[in-house]
Chain A
């Protein structure tokens, strides 16, 4: 399919870009990598008057260490994020989730800021953004403002960005030592959007028995915006990891997620036969499992071809448990 006509400008600087957006009014759109936008244009689901191409602006690229946080340029590609030693060292959850975005060719073009600005709750990055309390640095002709992730995602495909505004960078707070991470993506095929995804960061203490001191949990595709599972976070604090998630690194028989590579995402407890009733009922569970049961609280998951709300709520609970367990294992160096 073929896009409708539009004008195109490729400003040489951020300043020019902002000016171009300002002059172009509400129908202007920012083009970065175009991997979300181009399919929309081709399907004629979007009719911008002008595309302001910021894909090559050096000011929007690169990933910098700013001390307390990493600054990821809005036009840094997914591929750059996944490969970045800084991201992998300081904010590995971002790399883990970004590596699951689309496919290699799309990751070569698609950008970190573009994907977040698209604000698809089924996308993998928004849940990470809310889980990690990322901040969006937003520029317009009237200056710069900073919006927290929890305020950035307003509704389905809708953000706090006003016409004339552009994301310049995304700040990812460093969490410090003792954390482990996991992004558990459940999808029907490798190309399918996440039915549900869980981004988990867990800080584990080994003082006085292994237990979770703090956790961050973001949910993909459990509502019209990414969801922060605050009740899980609260409930899981102090959860002990006595052999349940902390030590069972091998994961046994492996969970199955619809394709071979997902074997890595083995469920904690899988394969050791520890009290999993075949009928999948609640059964005896540790604190981690109990906390995960709260994952769907307050969510309003969508109905689509991949599942209804009830199933998604169930998945959110199971996947949260798995994500927390895997994150805890990784915190312990497993």
Chain B
């Protein structure tokens, strides 16, 4: 067992873990952060995407021991008080960018991440930026619209973007 310290959605945890424990299993099975699901074995689907030290990573392909001392934000950490949604969460809702919702946590995290480099992305840039996240329900058309809308809200109203527990910058 290896002792690690990790901050998840603003809460600091100290855990003894087997070295082989996957970050996503730490989140789901140990810390109860079941908002982040698992969709594959090969880091293709991106359903498990979280922010690690502010950038998107696939939590199925990171060991818990590797994140010792680091900061993680999951989809559950985006909305403050559970009610004040991040603009990207609102945009996914408004544009009907989810159906079954299984890919949605990862898709939202990837979308927020891509806006950090390109706050006003073209459709092509959005599609490329999301290439590591698979959705089987939507055909992506509405996801692209949602990311566009989310980008627009975040640029029009930075306060709204910051209204969630963490702004895009903090993520």
A and B in contact, CB less than 8 Å: yes
- Which A residues are closer than 8 A to B by beta carbons? 1-8, 10, 31, 34-35, 38-39, 41-43, 51, 53, 55, 79, 102-106, 108-109, 190-191, 259-261
Q: Which residue of A lies closest to B46 (CB)?
A: A105
Could you list 11 further interchain pairs (A-B, Cβ under 8 angstroms) beyond the known A34-B61, A51-B19, A259-B127? Answer: A2-B22, A38-B43, A38-B60, A79-B55, A104-B131, A105-B113, A106-B43, A108-B52, A109-B57, A109-B58, A260-B124
User: Is residue B65 within 8 Å, beta carbon to beta carbon, of the partner chain?
Assistant: yes
Contact with A along B110-131 (1 / 0, CB 8 A): 1001100000000010011101
Query: Beyond A2-B22, A35-B61, A104-B110, is A190–B43 a contact (Cβ under 8 Å)?
Result: no
- With a cutoff of 8 Å between Cβ atoms, the chain A residues found around residue B60 in the complex are 38, 42
User: How would you classify the secondary structure of chain B's contact residues: helix, strand, loop or mixed?
Assistant: mixed
CB-CB contacts below 8 Å: B124-151 with A: 124, 127-129, 131-134
- With a cutoff of 8 Å between Cβ atoms, the chain B residues found around residue A39 in the complex are 41-43, 61
User: Is residue B89 within 8 Å, beta carbon to beta carbon, of the partner chain?
Assistant: no
Task: State in angstroms the CA–CA spacing of A260 and B44 once bound together.
Answer: 19
Task: State in angstroms the CA–CA spacing of A132 and B128 once bound together.
Answer: 27
Q: Could you tell me if A102 and B20 are in contact, using CB atoms closer than 8 angstroms?
A: no
CB-CB contacts below 8 Å: B80-134 with A: 110, 113-114, 124, 127-129, 131-134
Q: Could you tell me if B41 and A42 are in contact, using CB atoms closer than 8 angstroms?
A: yes
Across the interface, A4 reaches (CB within 8 A) one of B20, B55, B127, B129, namely B20
Q: Could you tell me if A6 and B124 are in contact, using CB atoms closer than 8 angstroms?
A: no
Query: Beyond A55-B66, A105-B110, A191-B131, is A7–B43 a contact (Cβ under 8 Å)?
Result: no
Query: Beyond A103-B131, A191-B131, is A38–B19 a contact (Cβ under 8 Å)?
Result: no
Q: Which residue of A lies closest to B48 (CB)?
A: A105
Across the interface, A6 reaches (CB within 8 A) one of B19, B58, B110, B134, namely B19
Q: Could you tell me if A43 and B61 are in contact, using CB atoms closer than 8 angstroms?
A: no
Q: Could you tell me if A105 and B132 are in contact, using CB atoms closer than 8 angstroms?
A: yes
- Which B residues are closer than 8 A to A by beta carbons? 2, 18-20, 22, 41-44, 46, 49, 52, 55-58, 60-63, 65-66, 68, 110, 113-114, 124, 127-129, 131-134
Q: Which residue of B lies closest to A83 (CB)?
A: B117
Task: State in angstroms the CA–CA spacing of A220 and B61 once bound together.
Answer: 25
A193 to chain B, nearest CB (A): 11
Query: Beyond A42-B41, A191-B44, A260-B124, is A109–B19 a contact (Cβ under 8 Å)?
Result: no
Query: Beyond A34-B66, A261-B124, is A105–B20 a contact (Cβ under 8 Å)?
Result: no
Q: Could you tell me if A104 and B20 are in contact, using CB atoms closer than 8 angstroms?
A: no
Query: Beyond A8-B65, A39-B61, is A104–B19 a contact (Cβ under 8 Å)?
Result: no
